[in-house]
Amino acid sequence: MKICFLLFGVCVLLGSCSIPDSTSPRMLGGSSQTLIYLGCKAVSENEVEFTFSRPVSVKNVSFYPDISVESIENGDNVRIKFTQNIEPGKLITADLLAEDEKKNTINVLVSFKARNNRMPQLVINELCTEYANAAAGRKAEFIEFKILSNGNLGAMRVIIIGNSNNAKYTVYEFPSVEVKKDDYVVLHLRTYDPSSKDELGSNLSESGGINSSPTARDFWIPGTTKLLHKTAFVYVQDQDDKVMTAVMICEKPDQMWPKDYFEQAATFLFMQNAWSSSDGISYRPIDAVPSAGTTNTRTICRDESRENTNSAADWYITATSSATPGSPNNPKRFLN
C-alpha cells in the first residue's frame, strides 16, 4: 500500500504541529493499521524530527534549499541531522519517502522553520487599532515592538485573539533577521502601498508606506483584512509555544467578555505569567487596557519609563496625533 500526503506551505513549529484543518494529514483506507504522518519539528539548529504512527525507515529525503545530511535515525520518530547549523528561523521544505516493516510507503512534502535558539527578549510597545483613509493615503493598524536584547527574530509568531470569526489567529511569523537591543520593530497589519517593503537588511529606510519609520525595522502583512480590534489579545510565542510578551485590550472593560474564547485566552496568558490581574486570581475585562478612546492617531502605548509589570498599569492612550510608530513613546502626551 502506498500513502501519499502532500502538505504545501504548511509551517510546522517546535512543540506545536500547527497544521490548518484544510491540509491536516488524514488516515487513508479507514484502518487503524494505516501508516500516518503526525508532524515534524526542528529539535536543534542542525536537526529535524519527523513523527509517524509506527516505526519507519527513510528511503529517500531531500531538502530545499539544498542541505547536506550527516545521519538519519529511523523509527517512529525519524531524526535527521545536518552537516551544518541552519540559519535561525529559515524556512525549509522537506520531501521525504519512508517505509514501514510491511512495505507500506508514505511520502511527505512539508515546510518547517529551522530552530532559532537566539530569539531576543522583547515587549509589545504600541498598538494602533484603527484604520484611516487619509488624504495622503490609507493608514493601516500596526503593532510596535521594542527589542530588549540582541538576537534573531526568525520563527517568532505574532498571535491576535479578536472579536472576529477567528478566535485565535497567527497573523505573522518573522523571517530570519538580526536585531539589537533598543531597536524598534513595526509590524503593519495591512498593505496598501506597493512601496511598503519588509526591511530584512541594514537599510531601515527602504520601506515606503504611511507610518513606516526610517529608523525602525518595518514589516508588512499582505492584504487588506482588518486583524486588530479594540477588544483583542496580542502576544508573541516562540517555537516552544512560550509567550514572550502580551497585552490585553478591551473596549468595554465594565462588561463581560464578548466571546467565551476571550476568557479562555485570558486564563492562558495568566498561566503563562504573561499578564497579571489586580487581585491575582481572576481574568476579567477590567484587568485589560481600556481601549475605547483609541483612534488612528491615539494609540495604546507602553510607558517605557516604568518597570514592566505585565498589567494594564503599564499602558496609556496617547493624545491626538501623538502616535510614535518606530520611535520612543512619550508618556507626557496622554489622553485626558
User: In angstroms, rounded to a whole number, what is the distance separating the alpha carbons of residues 185 and 183?
Assistant: 7
The pLDDT of residue 135: 62
What's at 242, amino acid-wise? K
Residue whose C-alpha cell is 519609520: 213
The pLDDT of residue 112: 95
What DSSP string runs through 111-152? EEEPP-S-PPPEEEEEEE---EEETTEEE--EEEEEE-S-EE
Q: Would you state the torsion angle of the CA atoms of residues 30, 36, 38, 41, taken in this order, to the nearest 10 degrees?
A: -160
Residue 215 contacts residue 326 (beta carbons within 8 Å): yes
The pLDDT of residue 335: 63
User: In angstroms, rounded to a whole number, what is the distance separating the alpha carbons of residues 218 and 175?
Assistant: 12
The pLDDT of residue 331: 82
The pLDDT of residue 23: 35
* Residues 6 or more apart in contact with residue 268 via CB below 8 angstroms: none
* Residues 6 or more apart in contact with residue 334 via CB below 8 angstroms: 316, 317, 318, 319
pTM of the model: 0.86
The pLDDT of residue 138: 87
Cα 8 to its chain centre, rounded Å, is: 19
Residue 197 contacts residue 206 (beta carbons within 8 Å): yes
User: In angstroms, rounded to a whole number, what is the distance separating the alpha carbons of residues 81 and 65?
Assistant: 15
| Strand 105-113 to 184-188 pairing | unpaired
**Domains of the chain, earliest start first:** 2-113 (2.60.40.1220), 122-317 (2.60.40.1260)
In the chain, the largest separation of any two C-alpha atoms, in whole Å, equals: 72
Mean pLDDT split into 10-residue runs, the chain, 336 residues: 42 33 36 83 96 97 97 98 96 97 95 96 97 81 98 97 77 96 97 93 93 96 94 96 97 92 91 86 88 93 94 94 93 70
